[in-house]
Amino acid sequence: MSKKVVTFGEIMMRLSTPGNKRFVQTDSFDITYGGGEANVAAAICNYGMQGVFFSKLPDNALGQAAINHLRRFGVDTQFIARGGKRLGLYFLEPGVSMRASQVIYDRADASITEAEVADFDFDRIFEGADWFHTSGITPALGDNTAVLTLAALKAAKAKGITTSLDLNYRKKLWTAQKAREVLIQLCEYVDVCIGPDATLGFHSEDTDINLDTLTTDDYSTVFKQVKEKYGFKYIASGLRESHSASDNSIRALIYDGNELYQTARYDVRIVDRVGAGDSFASGLIYGLLNNMNAADAAEFGVAASALKHTIPGDMNHATLAEVQDLVKGNRSGKIQR
């Protein structure tokens, strides 16, 4: 029987400009759908596990389209509540070279911000689940989602389910102060923490690091402190060096309480950088759920993340075999025929 991973969060419609066009140039948008936890659920299905995603979406054709997108991957969408005002949107202008990608969020008043505990039957949702994953973006969306995130984590822990939280601090959504207050409460119910920094304080996904001169000592100290304070089983973090909007290097760190492991580094030519962090998270979950040690799970996660950069959209369409092949070191990109 395959493993079952439940995730909770927002799914937005993403509207991106085609052909390297800027917002002021385009007369069409490419449509896809994404959100941190939804992206994780989709990737989980790609790896042959069961992915369940719950959220709240408007009861119109746009909300239905978001659900249909998730169903393509095989994500179980039966627990998505319907109702509320609108589908959250975000607009993406992908960057090139030294021109950075631009994101305009239009997610205020999305249906999920009106979701309530009564919209979800945690007993049914978590039945038979092995893992629950959510992120620090979800509680940042509003008071309702903060309450719901805590409730879901508690419900999952009460059922003995492993939990993970990708801190993913976004400064446009809330202050660091507010984030710290809310997230610290959540940490009590979290087994695997992704992305913490020294002060818990949380490092932003967009932090840019020089991977050539990376000293892991600092991370080692921080992760140790964080682990001691919050009792996480694993602490992991993806690292990124942004040479330009077209070329990045990535690697990841994981700390299991004993040692800080540093993965291989990947130099990626970017097709679509969004969702790369979620690919790391879902790869890590896959690994830990399938009996890998921390180092191997992080290697699987960072390889999945590397492949994500080459695939359009927020969600990762890399297959299990492709990730495994890349972990083994096949980076030549030779034609498969």
For a copy of itself, which is the closer residue by CB, 28 or 199? 28
Among 8, 73, 79, 230, binds a copy of itself (CB under 8 A): 73
Question: Whole-angstrom Cα distance, residue 30 to residue 298?
Answer: 32
Q: Does 190 bind a copy of itself (CB under 8 A)?
A: no
- The region of 2-10, 144-152, 211-219, 326-334 touching a copy of itself under the rule CB under 8 A is 326-334
Torsion of CA 196, 282, 154, 136, to 10 degrees: 40
- Shortest reach from residue 185's CB to a copy of itself, in Å: 25
Among 3, 4, 69, 251, binds a copy of itself (CB under 8 A): 69
- Shortest reach from residue 319's CB to a copy of itself, in Å: 9
Question: Which helix (DSSP H) or strand (DSSP E) does residue 139 occupy?
Answer: helix 137-140
- The region of 47-55, 143-151, 224-232, 301-309 touching a copy of itself under the rule CB under 8 A is 301-309
The DSSP code for 77 is -
Question: Which helix (DSSP H) or strand (DSSP E) does residue 331 occupy?
Answer: none
For a copy of itself, which is the closer residue by CB, 234 or 280? 280
For a copy of itself, which is the closer residue by CB, 172 or 215? 172
For a copy of itself, which is the closer residue by CB, 57 or 288? 57
User: Which parts of 75-114 interact with a copy of itself (CB under 8 A)?
Assistant: 85-86, 89, 91, 93, 95-106, 108-109
Contact 141, 168 (CB under 8 A): no
Q: How many CB atoms lie within 10 A of CB 64?
A: 14
Among 177, 291, 321, 334, binds a copy of itself (CB under 8 A): 334
> How far from 314 is each of 15, 48, 168, CA to CA, in Å?
11, 19, 15
Output the CA angle 4-40-108, nearest 5 degrees: 125
For a copy of itself, which is the closer residue by CB, 242 or 290? 242
Which residues, at least 6 apart from 144, have a Cβ–Cβ distance to it below 8 Å? 112, 113, 114, 115, 116
Which residues, at least 6 apart from 155, have a Cβ–Cβ distance to it below 8 Å? 122, 123, 126
Question: Whole-angstrom Cα distance, residue 133 to residue 161?
Answer: 10
User: Which parts of 195-214 interact with a copy of itself (CB under 8 A)?
Assistant: 206, 208
Torsion of CA 245, 251, 256, 260, to 10 degrees: -120
Question: Whole-angstrom Cα distance, residue 270 to residue 274?
Answer: 10
The binding track of 273-292 with respect to a copy of itself, each residue x by CB under 8 A or -, is xx------------------
- Which of 78, 102, 107 minimizes the C-alpha distance to 90? 107
For a copy of itself, which is the closer residue by CB, 90 or 189? 90
Among 245, 264, 295, 320, binds a copy of itself (CB under 8 A): 245
Question: Whole-angstrom Cα distance, residue 34 to residue 90?
Answer: 9
- The region of 147-155, 224-232, 271-279, 288-296 touching a copy of itself under the rule CB under 8 A is 271-279
- Which of 129, 175, 169 minimizes the C-alpha distance to 153? 129
- Shortest reach from residue 48's CB to a copy of itself, in Å: 12
Total of chain residues touching a copy of itself, rule CB under 8 A: 82
What is the bridge-based pairing of β-strands 192-194 and 162-166? Answer: parallel
The binding track of 110-149 with respect to a copy of itself, each residue x by CB under 8 A or -, is ----------------------------------------
- Shortest reach from residue 337's CB to a copy of itself, in Å: 4
- Shortest reach from residue 178's CB to a copy of itself, in Å: 18
